[in-house]
Amino acid sequence: MARALLGAGYRVALAGRRPEALDETAQGDPAALVVPTDVASPDSVSALFEAARRRWGRVDLLVNNAGTFGPSGAADEISVADWKATVDTNLTGAFLCAREAVATMKAQDPQGGRIINNGSISAHTPRPGSIAYTATKHAITGLTKSLSLDGRPYGIACGQIDIGNAATEMTAGIARGARQADGSIVAEPTFDVAHAAEAVLYMAGLPLDTNVQFLTITATTMPFIGRG
């Protein structure tokens, strides 16, 4: 997503916990600003947005993409600590970034901007043993709707992209075999992550009087419709 935005002429602040990974993504592009960030920390998120404002004076786009699968298991099989850690990253992290973005977008001149949240297919349908991840992703949908509604008077648009089985290091296990609702293990199809990036670029490039509220992009034959 970051590389697609940079390639389209955006100036991009890259936020994540690992500086090495951010530098690898930035590839020395002068339009990229690397800001190591823990999205679960309010102070760290505030520092991220302050760095972007110092560099460019405004924020026109936030892509909330930080996430972790979290613990695997039924409700009685996962620890409270693991539940909270998943909520902190997937939900509170998105809220903290949106909170800073909304405040910035309200105050800047011209006013407004766009927020795109990564909801995931699990914002619609759970995988077995994914209660923490699924709960946070369903909550992202509520966050998206509230941001979209509350942002209207200020020219702030908010939409959600739900991605199913984009091929990344994080999802490599799915291609080898993922547990299904009937207990079987099935290798699931994936698709080139570049197509997800192109979808985000399309959503980002619309004028602020137009919004993609929800966009679902999946591998065509993944077990989503009729997942079980």
133 an active-site residue?
A: yes
**Are the CB atoms for 54 and 47 separated by under 8 Å?**
no
Cβ neighbour number for residue 6 with a 10 Å cutoff: 19
Catalytic residue from among 10, 133, 154, 202: 133
Cβ neighbour number for residue 190 with a 10 Å cutoff: 18
- Reference 21, options 191, 169, 194, 166; nearest CA is 169
Q: How far is CA 35 from CA 39, 62, 176, 213, in A?
A: 11, 14, 34, 28
CA dihedral 117, 5, 204, 44 (to 10 degrees): 40
- Reference 137, options 81, 64, 78; nearest CA is 64
Q: Which residue has the tokens 């609702």?
A: 181
Positions marked catalytic: 133
